[in-house]
Structure 1
Amino acid sequence: MKGPYPEIQGGGSLILAWQVRNKKVLVVGGGEVAAGRIVNVLNADARVTVVSPREGLNEEVAYRVEQKQVEFIDRKFEPADLDGVDMVLTAVDDAEASTQIYKLCHERRIAANIADVPPECDFYFGSVHRDGPLQIMVSTNGNGPKLANIVRRQIANTLPHNIGTAVTRVGMLRRKLRKVAPTPAEGPKRMQWMSKVCEQWTLDELCDMTEEDMEMLLGFYEPGNVPTLEAVRLYQPDGAYDGPFLI
């Protein structure tokens, strides 16, 4: 008999948005896989160090080094490279060396991802679609990275073209709302009101919302109303209004 709560499926991963801004990430290796890992963590504003003999760098990683987007150590990995590191990503064609690095990370309680060796990964990289602040990740839990990429592209093709801009506008409104209602006690009301805005306004309306519109809209927060965008633009600061009924 099916219970009243979600069934536990097991075998999955805890998918999180890991904040690594200003964290120190060590990348061991300089080939194609390392290049992809570097982009991922640089996009998350991490401080990246790459350890690899210079002759092992592909063109993209060499470019990151030349542009000083990463710190570069021109040699093979040494245990001392783990000092002060928050995360380790290895991408080298040496299974024995990779396993040794993983064991060292495990001893030091440093989260590590050993490329193409799922049992020696504390976390996996998924296939990510990015549109401004919007990120959507598809993971196969290490079973089929290429398939994850195919699924991600199919999902991305179904998304509205303006979804990233809409998310940016909603983020701006949310930050302004926190200034209007900053206390923890206002939390539930803030969330409920923002939910109404997202549900009642179309993506096009959210994209078209200007900062002036936001300031006007925030005037309806206290009574808990969410007027239409048209109503917001007809509303006057002195309270005069000649337009559609407010929702």
Structure 2
Amino acid sequence: MTSKYPEIQGGGSLILAWQVRNKKILVVGGGEVAAGRIVNVLNADAKVTVVSPRAGLNDEVAYRVDQKQVEHIDRKFEPSDLDGVDMVLAAVDDPEASTQIYKLCKEKRIPANIADVPPECDFYFGSVYRDGPLQIMVSTNGNGPKMANIVKKRIAASLPSNMGAAIQKVGALRKKLRKVAPLPEEGPKRMQWMSKVCEKWSLDELCSMTDEDMDTLLEFYKPGTVPTLAEVRLYEPGGVYEGPFLI
């Protein structure tokens, strides 16, 4: 018998957009893998501390240190480094040291990722495509990082070049809408109306939307209608909107 509900597929991960703004993240190691981890968490506005002897830093990590984008502790990891830390990213070529770090994190209930050791990871890093506010992560749940990168590139190649810009404009419109209709009970109506805008307007139209266009468009929120961009630009305050015509 076929179920009308989604089939459960075990073995996956709960993929989330983890907000780490201003969180304290410790990166242990200073090589190529650590460099990639640092970029990921700096892009998420975290406060990053790198623990590694200066001699072990590659050029990119040394650049982050010199530019004061991260704090640097010039020595090997010590257990006291975990004090006050919200997350740990270990990327060292020492399996014994990596396991020690993971065990200490488990004791202190600090989420940790031990590079290239899936059993010692509370979460994985996927292959990420970024276009402004748009982020798409592909995860193979630790099975094939290179395959994740291949899939990511194929997805990115299929997306319109203006997708990120369109999303940015939609985000600005949503902020304005919340000011127009701030009450919690307006939530479902806000979501439905925004969905109509995204479905009716093309990406190019969303990208070309100005602040003035947004303010005019918001006048149609209360009646729950969505005019075209052309109609928005022809609209005069006090006019009446009926179907595809402004009178």
TM-score calculated relative to the size of structure 2: 0.98
Contact 1:231–1:243 (CA under 8 A) maintained in structure 2: no
Kindly provide the amino acid, as one letter, of the partner of residue 161 in structure 2.
H
- The residue type equivalent to 1:14 in the other structure is L
CA distance in 2 between partners of 1:226 and 1:84 (Å): 50
Deviation at 1:56, TM superposition (A): 0.2
Q: Displacement of 1:238 after TM fit?
A: 3.2
> CA distance change for structure 1 residues 111 and 242 in 2, over 3 Å: closer, same or farther?
closer
Aligned to 1:17: 17
SS at match of 2:226: coil
Counterpart CA distance in 2 for 1:200 and 1:8 is 34
**Residues in 1 aligned to 2:244 and 2:7: alpha-carbon distance in whole angstroms:** 46
Structure 1 residues 132-173: Cα deviation after superposition (integer angstroms, max 9, x where no partner)? 000000000000001100100000000000000000000000
1:241 & 1:3 partners in 2: Cα distance?
45
CA distance in 2, matches of 1:241, 1:187: 24
Q: Deviations over 1:29-61 (max 9, x none)?
A: 000000000000000000000000000000000
**Matched AA of 2:236:** Q
Question: Which whole-Å CA distance do the structure 2 matches of 1:149 and 1:68 have between them?
Answer: 30
Helix, strand or coil for the counterpart of 1:48?
A: strand
Query: What CA distance in whole angstroms lies between the structure 2 residues aligned with 1:121 and 1:85?
Result: 16
**RMSD over aligned Cα atoms:** 1.3
Match of 1:210 in 2: 210
> Which one-letter code corresponds to 1:192 in the other structure?
Q
Partner secondary structure for residue 22 of structure 1 = coil
Partner of 2:92: 92
Matched AA of 2:35: A
Q: 1:203 to 1:181 in 2, by over 3 A?
A: same
Instruction: Give, in angstroms, the shift of residue 24 of structure 1.
Output: 0.2
- The code of the aligned residue for 1:19 comes to Q
Q: Does 1:104 align with 2:112?
A: no
Paired residues of 1:138 and 1:148 also in contact (CA < 8 A): yes
Kept in 2, the 8 Å contact 1:235–1:242? The answer is no
Q: Quick one: structure 1 residues 150 and 86, their matched pair in 2 at CA, closer, same or farther if it must change by over 3 Å?
A: same
Aligned residues: 246
Provide Cα deviations, 1:56-88, integer angstroms capped at 9, x if missing partner: 000000000000000000000000000000000
Matches within 5 A, 1:224-243: 224-239=224-239
Q: Where does structure 1 lack aligned partners over 5 or more consecutive residues? A: none
Q: Aligned pair 1:31/2:31, yes or no?
A: yes
Q: CA deviation at 1:2?
A: 1.7
Query: 1:26 is aligned with what amino acid?
Result: L
Question: Secondary structure of 2:245's partner?
Answer: coil
TM-score by length of 1: 0.98
Partner of 1:153: 153
1:79 aligns with: 79
State the alpha-carbon separation in 2 of the partners of residues 122 and 85 from structure 1: 15
SS in 2 for 1:81: helix
CA distance in 2, matches of 1:125, 1:241: 49
2:176 is matched with which residue? 176
Letter in 2 for 1:24: K
